[in-house]
Amino acid sequence: MPMVIAIDGPAASGKGTLAKRLAAHYGLPHLDTGLLYRAVALTVIDAGCNLDDHAAAARAAATLIADRLADPRLRERAMGDAASRISSIPAVRAALLAWQQRFAGGASGAVLDGRDIGTVVCPQAQVKLFITAAAEERARRRHLELLRRGESASLGAILSDIVARDARDAQRSTAPLKAAADAVLLDTTELDADEAFEAARAVVDRARVH
């Protein structure tokens, strides 16, 4: 039976790294759903349109192809904020919901990480994890990540961005960021990447037994 692992959580909680490791460990395809929203935002920007142009964003979402997810610009810090703005548009979410559900419906199962996987995209997933960490710790991690990539960044500015993004994601009317009722909460504030992986793997293995 194919297994779908749904991983949700706020920005810089470590869910993406964890999702990749779980996918590799269990031999499952992985989708970072945040890249979909970043790709839509980048498409809108490349077309010379404003991110608040709902019609342009809806068109970009409806015609999104997988090749767009390989654009290195999607990893830039500014694209995270742009994606958060785009993600509040219902028509964008509707188009990308179908995209994500097709991916999750593959014969082998899949690992998807995002903000509404367990609640909206894959509510029947066999495993649901909600990954979180203190905002200050998430800002520290993001700061280190940016420095390693050679990008200049202010820790204070990153923390402000994360707090603002948390609020925007949690308060949007369509598919707000929240843990599914049956999700396992994993706080990684005090965990390194290996400890977080082992904790998550234990949850998945228990689900596979049952």
As annotated, the binding site includes: 9-17
> Across the beta sheet with 30-32, what order do the strands follow?
30-32, 109-114, 3-8, 127-132, 184-187
Amino acid code (one letter) for 51: L
d(CA 62, CA 40): 9
Q: Which residues contact 178 (CB under 8 A, 6 or more apart)?
A: 119, 170
Q: CB count, 10 Å around CB of 29? A: 13
Residues 180-198 as b or e (16 or more Cβ within 10 Å = b): beebbebbbeebeeeebbe
CA torsion, points 44, 58, 71, 117, in degrees to nearest 10?
140
Binding site residue list for ATP: 9-17
**How many angstroms separate the CA atoms of 143 and 151, rounded?**
9
- Cβ-count burial 117-147 (b if 16+ within 10 Å, e if not): bbbbbbeebbbbbbbbbebebbbbbbbebbe
